[in-house]
Amino acid sequence: MHAVTAYFEDLNSSVGAAWNRFWFTPSAATTLGLMRVAAGLLALYAVATYGPDLELWFGEGGMLPLEMVRSLYDGQWSLLDYVPANMLWPAYWSALVVIALFTLGVGGRAMALGATVATFSFFTRAPLVTGEFESILSFLLVYLCIGRADDAYSLKALWRRHTTSSPLPPAPSPFNTISLRLVQVHTALACLMMGWAQLAAPESAWWSGEGIWLAAARPNMSLIDLSALADHPRLTAAWSHAITLYLLAMPVFIWSRLARPLLIVAGGLVWISFAVASGWTPFCAAMLTATAAFVEPAGLRPTRELAIA
C-alpha cells in the first residue's frame, strides 16, 4: 500500500511540476513584442477597412442598423452601440489612434486592453461582415493583454535604451509565458479544427486533392495567376494534401523541441502559399503571427535600436 501511495505522490509531484514549468516559467518579452507589432498592424488594417464606407455601414439609414444586428446577435456588445451618428468619425479615428499606440508599445496593458476593446467594437458592431481573420486576430489581441508585450520592440524599450547609461533588460515575467502559452494552445486547436473540417466530408475537395485549386480558381482572389494548376493535378493534390497534413500534424508535434523548428518553417510555407493561392492575406498573416508564438524568446535577437535583451 505504501508503494501505491508513493507512486501517486510522485505522479502528482511530477505532473504539478511540469504544469508549473509549462505555464509559469518566467520568460522574456521578445516574442511577445514582435507579435504585438504584427497584431497591432493587423488590427489597424482591420479597423481602417471600415473607413471608406463608415457611414454606409453604421450611419443613419446604413446597411447595418443597430436594431437588426442586435436582433440577430443578441449576446454581443460594442462601444459603437452608444455612439451617435455625428460622433461616428471621431470614434473611428480615436480607435485608430489607440490601436497605433498599442502597436508602438505605448501605454502597457491599459493600451493593449483599449486597443482590444476598440477593435472588438467594430467586429461586434458588424458581425455579418467578419470571418476567419477576425476570429484569429481576436484571440491574439486578448492574450497580448496579459503579458508585458511592450517590454520589447517598443517606444518604451527605445526610450529606456537612450535614457539609461547601462540599460538592463526587463526581468523575465511569468505573465509573458502565460500569454504565449495561451496563444500556442489556441493556435494548435485552431489548426486541428481546420484540418478536421477539411476531412469532415468523405468526398470533400481536400480529400480529393482539389482544395487548393478551388481556392485559387475563384475569380479575382489569388494573388497571382494559378490557372496552370488545372494542367497539373498531381501538383495540385500534393499542395492540398501538404496543407491538410500540416494542419493535422502541427497540434501534435509542435510541442516537441526537435520537431518545432521544422513545423514553424512548414507553417510559414503553408500560410504564405495559401495566401498566394486564396488571396486571404489578412487571415494568413494572422496565422503567421499566431505561429510566431512558438519561437523561443531566447532565439530572437532584437535590433540595436530596440535591444532590451
- Please provide the DSSP assignment of the chain as one string: -HHHHHHHHHHHHHHHHHHHHHHHS-B-SHHHHHHHHHHHHHHHHHHHTTGGGHHHHHSTT-SS-HHHHHHH-TT---GGGG--GGGHHHHHHHHHHHHHHHHHT-SHHHHHHHHHHHHHHHHHHSGGG--HHHHHHHHHHHHHTTS-GGGSSSHHHHHHHHH-SSPPPPPPBHHHHHHHHHHHHHHHHHHHHHHHHHHSSTT-HHHHT-HHHHHHSSTTTSSS--GGGGG-HHHHHHHHHHHHHHHHHHHHHTTSTTTHHHHHHHHHHHHHHHHHHH--HHHHHHHHHHHGGGS-GGG----TTT---
The grid cell for 295 is 519561437
Per-residue model confidence (pLDDT) at position 166: 56
Per-residue model confidence (pLDDT) at position 159: 86
Domain coordinates of the chain in residue numbers? 24-299
Per-residue model confidence (pLDDT) at position 308: 39
**Segments of the chain with pLDDT less than 70:** 165-167, 202, 299-309
Q: Helices 108-125 and 88-104, interaxial angle, to 10°?
A: 140
Per-residue model confidence (pLDDT) at position 307: 41
